Chain A
Amino acid sequence: DVKVTQSSRYLVKRTGEKVFLECVQDMDHENMFWYRQDPGLGLRLIYFSYDVKMKEKGDIPEGYSVSREKKERFSLILESASTNQTSMYLCASRGSGNLYEQYFGPGTRLTVT
C-alpha cells in the first residue's frame, strides 16, 4: 500500500519564522508535488520535483522553496512565514510519466499568526 506521510497534521507558527514541512513517500516515486488548498480555490501547485535535486516552480512559488536531497523525501520551506500562507498544505507523489495517479499525504494545516 502506497504511503505518503507528512511531518505534522497541525502547525502554528509566528510571522517571520522559517517553517519546514516534510513529506516522505515509500513507493520509490520519481515525481513529488507540494500543493496548497484554500476554500474556493482548489489545489494550487507550489513546486514539483521530478528527480533528486531537480525542481520546477508550479503556479504559486512565491514565498516558498523546496529541497529534494533523497528520492523519498521532499521538503517545503517557508523562508519567512506570513499570515497569507495560512493554509492546508498537501504533498503528493506519482510514478514516472504523466499517466499515473497522484498519491496524497494527509496534509498539514499551517496557521501563521
Chain B
Amino acid sequence: GQQVMQIPQYQHVQEGEDFTTYCNSSTTLSNIQWYKQRPGGHPVFLIQLVKSGEVKKQKRLTFQFGEAKKNSSLHITATQTTDVGTYFCAGCYSGTYKYIFGTGTRLKVLA
C-alpha cells in the first residue's frame, strides 16, 4: 500500500546546529504537507508543497519537494530551543482525499 517513510526517528542537536528530516514515498505524490507537534500539543500545519522541485522558506526553515515528487525534506538552520517537537510530513496521492503521515522525527535541542 501507499506509505511515506520518514527519517530519522529521533535527532538530538546542540542549540545552533542545523537539523534535517527526510520523507520518501515509493510512488509519486500529488502534494505534501509538513506539520509540527510540540510536546503535549497537537500537530500544527507548517507548509504545503505542490510543484516538482519546489523550495519554500519560512525564516530558518527550508522545505523542498523532489523533482520526481517522491521525496521531501525540512531543514532548520541554527536550531533554537523553540524548535523542539515532532515534525511530520503528510503526503497526498492523486485521486484520494486522504493524507498519509510519516512516522515523524522528534527533535530535541540541547541548550
- Listed in ascending order, the chain A residues whose CB lies under 8 Å from chain B are 31, 33, 35, 40-45, 48, 50, 56, 58-59, 90, 98-99, 101-107
Stretch from B52-60, B71-79, B99-107 contacting the other chain: B99-107
B43 close to A90 (CB less than 8 A) = yes
Extra contacts, 15 of them, besides A40-B103, A43-B43, A44-B101 (Cβ < 8 A), are: A40-B9, A43-B88, A43-B104, A45-B98, A45-B99, A45-B100, A48-B98, A59-B100, A98-B30, A99-B50, A101-B33, A101-B45, A102-B33, A102-B99, A104-B43
Selected from A31, A43, A56, A104, the residue in CB contact (under 8 A) with B44 is A104
SS class, residues of chain A in contact with chain B: strand
B104 close to A42 (CB less than 8 A) = yes
A104 close to B97 (CB less than 8 A) = no
Cα(A59)–Cα(B33), bound, Å: 19
Selected from A42, A48, A106, the residue in CB contact (under 8 A) with B88 is A42
- The answer to whether the Cβ of B20 comes within 8 Å of any Cβ in the partner chain is no
In the assembled complex, the CB of A9 is this many whole angstroms from the nearest CB of chain B, namely: 10
Q: Which residues of A sit under 8 angstroms from B101, Cβ to Cβ?
A: 35, 42-45
Q: Which residues of A sit under 8 angstroms from B24, Cβ to Cβ?
A: none
Cα(A31)–Cα(B88), bound, Å: 20
Interface core residue of A42, A56, A99, A105 (most chain B CB under 10 Å):
A42
- The answer to whether the Cβ of B21 comes within 8 Å of any Cβ in the partner chain is no
In the assembled complex, the CB of A113 is this many whole angstroms from the nearest CB of chain B, namely: 23
Q: Which residues of B sit under 8 angstroms from A90, Cβ to Cβ?
A: 42-43
B31 close to A99 (CB less than 8 A) = yes
Q: Restricting to B20-45, which residues have a CB under 8 Å from any CB of A?
A: 30-31, 33, 35, 41-45
